[in-house]
Amino acid sequence: MTSVLPRTELQLEIDGGSLTIEDLVAVARGGLETGLARHALPRIEAARELKRDLIEREVPIYGVTTGFGDSAHRQIAPAKTAALQHNVLRDLGCGTGQTAAPDVTRATMLLRANCLAKGNSGVRAELIERLLALLNADVLPLIPERGSCGASGDLVPLSYIGSAIVGEVDVLHHGQQRHAAEALAGLGFEPFELEAKEGLGLVNGTSFITAFSALAVADARDLADVSDLCTAMASEALLGNRGHFNAFLFEAKAHPGMLESARVIRGLLSESQLALDSEEIFAGEDLGGREYLELHRQVQDKYSIRCAPHINGMLRDTLEWAWRWVEIEMNSSDDNPLFDSDSGRVQSGGNFYGGHMGQAMDSLKVALANLCDLMDRQLELVVDEKFNAGLTPNLIPFFGPEHPEAGLHHGFKGMQISCSAMTAEALKLSNPATIHSRSTEAHNQDKVSMATIAARDARSIVELTQNIAAIHLLAVTQALDLRGPDKASPVTRAAHDLVRARVPFMDRDRRMDEDIRAVTDLIRSGELSRLARAGAAPVI
């Protein structure tokens, strides 16, 4: 077996205890290279030496000198332990469904390496280094998304990572599908020969669940900012009351996420000439001795505007604890058994169980689905001539009755239909997955987390939310053009300009699928989130 790979200058070192979600996103989406921290090596080696000593003494060790799952009562001789590890990868190669996206696969590989780097798994440092070498070279196993119950970890999906390391499956390398053995040879590697516990160490953990979860919470944090931006621009489009976001109201009910959303919206609407405070809206309007007066508008905006911080605040507060849970999971020994080199014992447990990730993702799903519904309701107000304060029906350009194209255009009518359809899909997906435990594997896995399904659903709702937010942003940008963008606040005007740099004003009916895609990409870039945060009101 080759020694640990020679060191090069690395941008990130992993040690099993210090990885952040920002680090993970940078590796998964930004190409940040990573390697194994030197200070992690002694603990990794100590656990491996304990494993070897226990094997030599013929101590029965789950999944090392015994079979797996319900076969844990069948012990094998030390000479068979390596073959057992290769066989477990082959046995679990039964995934179905679409192939995981490259960012999910990169995140999964990083997380598997980080778990093993913690030094409790009994594997060699060379295995971790090989996994990171493939990650840095962008050799990505093609992982089917379906097949994990999220209880004994992500056995089926993670087997494809192990099988890539030993050269037995197809991979994506620089965007081209190749056999793993060919890709390994191109990097100067032979297929990796596993020793005892190493196959199990690769498959027995929550890395696939946590990859989806980490990317979902990162994207959801940006979406919380984008939703507040959408609310601010919708308030301007509807000539709304920015007094609904005054600090006094939210300090009287001080949920942190709600306070933050109100602060962001308040800052975004600062200096707006479209969304005014209550005193400005009703200046000069009084009874004047009369017993009755019909005001020119209501003193309160509809709930989808007025209560937006209360709704988005739930997402922000959910993210506060979900983010923490995800980072704990990322830096955990989530496999089984674990080797306690301090006490000289091997200990079996259930750290592979994805319960915390499942609960976090089911909760995130509900918060995001509520956000989709909020934006869908705001969009209805903006496009519907009965509620949009004098804007055109469906935000079509102003065509006079004598204009030759009068009556021909329907503007954002189709966009609202698409938005409502996606909202319904998000609401459907928000049903909890974790309550659907199924007893499996001969009643050995008799209570399972279903966290992988919850995390995949969270990913799907994130994508739906991004597309819904894109339609919303296109609509309110169109509305500000009709109102006059010079009257918008400085920050919402900047957001308007970012959208307009990618999508022109809709001057007549046209296909808008490419427009949605362009603004969705803008949302995913994080530029709008950064703009919203920069424009937030100062913290008092």
Of 414, 409, 451, nearest to 434 by C-alpha is: 451
Dihedral angle computed from the Cα positions of residues 81, 84, 85 and 91, in that order, rounded to the nearest 10 degrees:
-170
Segment 123-138 shows an average pLDDT of: 97
| 332: confidence class by pLDDT, cuts 50, 70, 90 | very high
pLDDT tens-place string over residues 68-126: 877 878 898 888 999 999 999 999 999 999 999 999 999 999 999 999 999 999 999 99
The H or E element spanning position 14 is strand 12-14
Tokens representing 313?
Answer: 């605040």
DSSP-H helix ranges across 187-283: 198-203, 207-237, 247-251, 256-268, 278-281
Amino acid at 81: T
Residues paired with 173 in a beta bridge? 139, 176
Other beta carbons less than 10 A from residue 529's beta carbon? 20
| pLDDT over threshold 90, residue 419 | yes
CA distances from 217 to 221, 299, 325, 332, 368 (A): 6, 37, 11, 18, 10
Question: Percent of the chain having pLDDT more than 90?
Answer: 79
Tell me the three state secondary structure of residue 447: coil
Segment 453-459 shows an average pLDDT of: 96
In contact, 202 and 112? CB cutoff 8 Å: yes
As a whole number of angstroms, the distance between CA 463 and CA 448 comes to 27
| 442: confidence class by pLDDT, cuts 50, 70, 90 | low
Of 199, 202, 195, nearest to 52 by C-alpha is: 195
Residues paired with 36 in a beta bridge? 14
Q: How many CA atoms lie within 13 A of 151 on its CB side?
A: 19
Sign of CA dihedral 466, 472, 474, 476: negative
Can you tell me which residue has the tokens 């496999």? 335
Chain mean position to CA 254: 27
Of 312, 306, 309, nearest to 244 by C-alpha is: 306
Sign of CA dihedral 33, 39, 40, 46: positive
Of 45, 64, 76, nearest to 346 by C-alpha is: 64
DSSP, res 539: P
Tokens representing 119?
Answer: 């030094």
As a whole number of angstroms, the distance between CA 235 and CA 528 comes to 17
**Confidence at residue 278, expressed as pLDDT on a 0 to 100 scale:** 87
Amino acid at 505: F
Can you tell me which residue has the tokens 């079996």? 348
Terminal CA-CA length for the chain? 60
As a whole number of angstroms, the distance between CA 424 and CA 110 comes to 34
**Confidence at residue 403, expressed as pLDDT on a 0 to 100 scale:** 86
pLDDT tens-place string over residues 354-412: 899 999 999 999 999 999 999 999 999 999 999 999 999 999 998 888 888 888 889 99
Can you tell me which residue has the tokens 């983010």? 323
| pLDDT over threshold 60, residue 7 | no
Of 390, 446, 376, 454, nearest to 418 by C-alpha is: 376
Superfamily holding 12-205: Fumarase/aspartase (N-terminal domain) (1.10.275.10)
**Confidence at residue 42, expressed as pLDDT on a 0 to 100 scale:** 97
Extents of the domains making up the chain: 12-205, 214-279+300-332+350-535
Tokens representing 480?
Answer: 């500000």
| 130: confidence class by pLDDT, cuts 50, 70, 90 | very high
As a whole number of angstroms, the distance between CA 184 and CA 197 comes to 22
Residues paired with 404 in a beta bridge? none
**Confidence at residue 444, expressed as pLDDT on a 0 to 100 scale:** 67
**Confidence at residue 71, expressed as pLDDT on a 0 to 100 scale:** 84
Can you tell me which residue has the tokens 């079979």? 67
As a whole number of angstroms, the distance between CA 384 and CA 378 comes to 10
Sign of CA dihedral 196, 137, 326, 328: positive
Helices (H) and strands (E) in the chain, counts: 20, 9
As a whole number of angstroms, the distance between CA 221 and CA 315 comes to 8
Task: With both helix axes pointing from N to C terminus, report the angle between 527-535 and 256-268 in degrees, rounded to the nearest 10.
Answer: 90
Look up the pTM and report it. Answer: 0.94
| pLDDT over threshold 60, residue 202 | yes
Of 441, 416, 380, nearest to 516 by C-alpha is: 416
DSSP-H helix ranges across 332-450: 355-383, 413-429
**Confidence at residue 466, expressed as pLDDT on a 0 to 100 scale:** 98
Catalytic residues, which ones? 62
pLDDT tens-place string over residues 135-186: 999 999 999 999 888 888 899 999 999 999 999 999 999 889 999 999 999 9
Other beta carbons less than 10 A from residue 83's beta carbon? 12
| pLDDT over threshold 60, residue 2 | no
Mean pLDDT in the chain? 93
| pLDDT over threshold 90, residue 463 | yes
As a whole number of angstroms, the distance between CA 27 and CA 34 comes to 8
As a whole number of angstroms, the distance between CA 432 and CA 45 comes to 41
Can you tell me which residue has the tokens 């995949």? 456
Residues paired with 179 in a beta bridge? 170
pLDDT tens-place string over residues 233-291: 999 999 999 999 999 999 999 999 999 999 999 999 999 999 999 888 888 788 888 88
At the topology level, CATH places domain 214-279+300-332+350-535 in Fumarase C; Chain A, domain 2 (1.20.200)
DSSP string over 93-155? ---EEEEPPHHHHHHHHHHHHHHHHTS-S---HHHHHHHHHHHHTTEEE--EEE---SSS-SH
